[in-house]
């Protein structure tokens, strides 16, 4: 994935999550309860899990897998 595409996806993800969290906080203020905030509490965990995939971290330096070792079937 290109760097520009990653930034667009990351910005879109952050924007949507801010809207969802803001909506939950506004709903919680109207209800005088923390239940709406607890219902979206999983969102930061999901974003933390998705972040490495968006940035491309965790792959090798060249973005490809290592070659297989060439061994004979008997060893």
Question: Among 5-19, 23-37, 41-55, where is mean pLDDT lowest?
Answer: 41-55
Give domain status of residue 62, yes or no. no
- In percent, the amount of the chain with pLDDT more than 90 equals 8
CB-facing half-sphere around the CA of 20: CA atoms within 13 A: 14
Give domain status of residue 71, yes or no. no
Residue 38: is its pLDDT beyond 80? yes
Output the pLDDT for position 6: 75
Give domain status of residue 27, yes or no. yes
Q: CB within 8 A of 60, min separation 6: which ones?
A: 66
Task: Tell me how many domains the chain contains.
Answer: 1
Question: Whole domain around residue 23: which residue ranges?
Answer: 3-55
Q: Find the DSSP H helices in 1-75.
A: 3-31, 35-39, 43-55
Q: pTM of the entire structure?
A: 0.57
């Amino acid at each position: 994935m290109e760097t520009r595409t990653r930034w667009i996806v990351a910005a879109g993800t952050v924007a949507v999550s801010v809207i969802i969290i803001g909506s939950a906080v506004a709903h919680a203020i109207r209800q005088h309860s923390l239940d709406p905030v607890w219902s979206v509490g999983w969102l930061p965990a999901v974003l933390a899990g998705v972040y490495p995939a968006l940035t491309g971290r965790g792959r090798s330096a060249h973005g490809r897998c290592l070659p297989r070792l060439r061994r004979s079937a008997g060893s």
